[in-house]
Amino acid sequence: MTSWQTTTASLLARLTVKQQLQRDVSVERLREQIGAIERLFPGHPPGFMVAHDHPLPDCDAEWLREKGSSTDRVILHFPGGAYVVRLPNMERAMMARLCTAANARARLVFYRLAPEHPFPAGHEDSVGAYEQLLELGVNPERIVVSGISAGGGMALAVLLALRDRGLPLPAGAILMSPLTDLTDPNDGTRVANAVRDPVLSHKRGIEMRAMYAGDSPEMLVHPWVSPAFGDYAGLPPLFFQAGSTEILLDDSRRCVERARAAGVSAELEVWNEMPHGWQGLPFIPESQRAIEHCSDFVRQRCP
């Protein structure tokens, strides 16, 4: 059975976050309201060191490492938030748990957000962060990229760009409920799960995507904007997780189909009744279980 913690979290999200996301409020107000969730998380995960070495030219980035640990595994993480909002404390806490489980250190890239910085600003920041890791001498075989929600879409878009530019690719990618199709399709789980999804709403999707990528249909199907339209040939193994009641479930399914059709190893774990972004909620037992599955993938790809 779904845990009582998940049921409670889903109900609270349905009454608060989902309502905020479907209301016509300004981006500033939305950031303020969603940012209230940040108070649930410590700014600094206990037992971890947060370092700001190796700054990036246009955006913030930080290293997260468990005190006393020594490892060469690196998880390059892209946070979520529909490309317009951000929850850094929540992302940091989630990555701390993943680092502990996978015996890795993480590089969090807070790429620039829309509407102040529309595409390709955030994408360039993210590709630049990977290139910086290579310049620092990190072996690409010891890097796994990861992302949650819009960050998952960004992670895929980064992989496609790296492949297109002929750069050495990382060992794998973890995509947690990724947003991979900004054309906002009016079918599949976007519609079927519209009521069941306790977090995300279909209502402001068009407005949000316009902030990030504009309204041009050509731009919206560009693989670096909507990786669901990409050619996956040559990408490293991909590991997707999504909840069964999420509106974004089909985004993952389509990517897995395309990847496997291109001969890429890709698998999707569909977690029954889990709300969007459950991996980031440490107080629900299924979150730690999902993080452990991600850590298994990291160990599998970077043994």
Q: Of 89 and 295, which CB lies nearer to other proteins in the complex structure? A: 295
- Binder among 58, 131, 184, 267 for other proteins (CB under 8 A): 267
List the structure tokens of 200.
Answer: 């995300």
With vertex at residue 146, the alpha carbon angle to CA 140 and CA 147, rounded to the nearest 5 degrees, is 150
- CB 138 within 8 Å of CB 74: yes
- CB 169 within 8 Å of CB 143: no
Q: Does 65 bind other proteins (CB under 8 A)?
A: no
# binding residues, other proteins (CB under 8 A): 43
Q: Does 232 bind other proteins (CB under 8 A)?
A: no
- How far is residue 220's CA from residue 277's CA, in Å, rounded to a whole number? 24
- DSSP output for 42-109: -SS-TTEEEE--S--SSSEEEEEEETT-----EEEEE--STTT---HHHHHHHHHHHHHHHT-EEEEE
Q: Does 1 bind other proteins (CB under 8 A)?
A: yes
Report, as residue numbers or ranges, the catalytic residues. Answer: 149, 246, 276
Q: Of the candidates 259, 79, 285, 101, which has an alpha carbon nearest to the alpha carbon of residue 178?
A: 79
List the structure tokens of 254.
Answer: 């389509």
| Burial (0-12, 13-18, 19+ Cβ within 10 Å), 57 | exposed
Q: Of 5 and 128, which CB lies nearer to other proteins in the complex structure? A: 5
Type of residue found at 85: V
Q: Of 69 and 183, which CB lies nearer to other proteins in the complex structure? A: 69
Q: Does 296 bind other proteins (CB under 8 A)?
A: yes
Question: Per-residue x/- marks for other proteins, 117-156, CB under 8 A?
Answer: ----------------------------------------
Binding positions for other proteins, 172-211, rule CB under 8 A: 195-196, 198
Q: How far is the CB of 6 from other proteins (least distance, A)?
A: 8
Q: Of 72 and 131, which CB lies nearer to other proteins in the complex structure? A: 72
Q: How far is the CB of 272 from other proteins (least distance, A)?
A: 5
Q: Does 103 bind other proteins (CB under 8 A)?
A: yes
Binding positions for other proteins, 14-53, rule CB under 8 A: 14-16, 18-20, 23
With vertex at residue 159, the alpha carbon angle to CA 229 and CA 82, rounded to the nearest 5 degrees, is 65
- Residue numbers at the binding site for other proteins (CB under 8 A): 1-3, 11, 14-16, 18-20, 23, 69-71, 101, 103, 195-196, 198, 244, 253, 256-257, 260, 266-273, 286, 289, 292-293, 295-297, 299-301, 303
